[in-house]
Amino acid sequence: MSLLFSSSSYRSVTFRNNVFVSPMCQYSSVDGFPTDWHLVHLGSRAVGGAGLVITEATAINPQGRISPSDAGLWSKDQAGAYKKITTFIKEQGAVVGVQLAHAGRKASVSPPWEGGIALSPSQGGWQTIAPSALAFGALATPSQMSESQIEQTIDEFVNSTHLALEAGFQVVEVHAAHGYLLHEFLSPLSNKRTDQYGGSLQNRMRFPLEVIKAVRQAWPDELPVFVRISATDWVEGGWTITESVEFSKEAKKLGVDLIDCSSGGLVAHAEIPSFAGYQVEFAQKVKQGAAIATGAVGLITEAKQAEDILIQGQADAIILGREFLRDPYWPFHASQELDGKVQVNVPVQYMRAFNN
């Protein structure tokens, strides 16, 4: 059997295969609550055979949302609303995860299909916060976070972690990538602080590591914690892959189980290459350098390409974004291609369409 469709375990959770759905914002929530869209969208990828279905960036408080229609998990009512979705995904045999996030200086914008432009308070926007009062591109200037706001944010990550358990999630992924709040602390381009949270690598890592530590402590020992990083800013003077390896070593010491290796998003002017598997080298470097499991993501679309990444030991999991939007049944098709027959349990309702 292919490596892609072999099962794997992180802590006490077994994943039926190593094909994971990448977190993808749907901008279809109401006051942070998931809607029927989420049940159908996430549920379809579980029906389609993914090993892990993870929700989009889910804000720990209202100000941490990218747009007013982002997902959130700061109230018990929201946790309750997720139960139907998590139950359905688990019933299909997939593991269900949530990506916990704070958008920092990239918050308070309209959804992409409305331009992704900064929203003023009269348009439903809000004052953004960040390590330093430096704007992202043409977005509004954030206010610099005080130490008490930093402490409060850690508490809010903990609150959301408790709610994630209540909601029925089995994996928490801390979003420390794509130029959002945690990544803003890591990168010297967005973090110009002179206190214990800025300057040296150790200081820039302090807040993200405090968040990870608090989340890990709040999450049951038997359940895994993943962290998504941007392995490089792709610009001179920015966050680097070498620093990502150091950060991953520290995250591992805190009990993180997998580093999901993305890149970019911190500055608008970065020139990011886009060839098949362009971020795989980062998953490989973090895996080797920090001796931790990694997920490879970014322009992975082909079964053989995905299998080769695992065979070569470059990553432990294959994380697909846009390909899963095009084809929710990618695991059926890919396993048929690799193994000659479908290696994922086809729902009984669909069996007549798949003659193994």
Place of tokens 């200037």: 141
* Element housing 69 (H / E): none
Number of residues that bind ligand FMN (CB under 6 A): 20
Shorter beta-carbon distance to ligand FMN: residue 120 or 329: 329
Stretch near ligand FMN under the rule CB under 6 A, chosen from 5-13, 175-183, 189-197, 339-347: 175-183
Cα 15 from Cα 51, distance rounded (Å)? 5
Task: Tell me: does residue 298 bind ligand FMN (CB under 6 A).
Answer: yes
User: Alpha carbon of 243 to those of 96, 146, 177, 228: distances in Å?
Assistant: 30, 25, 13, 14
Cα 287 from Cα 309, distance rounded (Å)? 12
Task: Tell me: does residue 62 bind ligand FMN (CB under 6 A).
Answer: no
Cα 112 from Cα 318, distance rounded (Å)? 26
* 2, 17, 18, 22: which one binds ligand FMN (CB under 6 A): 22
Cβ proximity of 20 and 28 under 8 Å:
no
* 50, 57, 227, 344: which one binds ligand FMN (CB under 6 A): 57
Name the token pair of 11: 């802590």
- The strand pair at 8-10 and 13-15 is best described as antiparallel
Cα 131 from Cα 35, distance rounded (Å)? 32
Closest distance of CB 78 from ligand FMN, Å: 16
Which residue's CB comes closest to ligand FMN? 321
Closest distance of CB 25 from ligand FMN, Å: 4
* 93, 255, 321, 347: which one binds ligand FMN (CB under 6 A): 321
* 76, 192, 304, 322: which one binds ligand FMN (CB under 6 A): 322
* 65, 204, 228, 252: which one binds ligand FMN (CB under 6 A): 228
Stretch near ligand FMN under the rule CB under 6 A, chosen from 7-15, 285-293, 294-302, 339-347: 294-302
Site for ligand FMN in 84-103 (CB under 6 A): 99
Name the token pair of 246: 């150091």
Of 180, 278, 329, 350, the active-site residue reads 180
* 160, 190, 232, 262: which one binds ligand FMN (CB under 6 A): 262
Other CB atoms within a 10 A radius of the CB of residue 254 amount to 16
Cα 106 from Cα 128, distance rounded (Å)? 8
Other CB atoms within a 10 A radius of the CB of residue 112 amount to 11
Shorter beta-carbon distance to ligand FMN: residue 106 or 285: 106
Whether 350 is a known active-site residue: answer: no
Catalytic residues: 180
Q: Which residues bind ligand FMN (CB under 6 A)?
A: 22-25, 56-57, 99, 175, 177-178, 228, 262, 297-300, 320-323
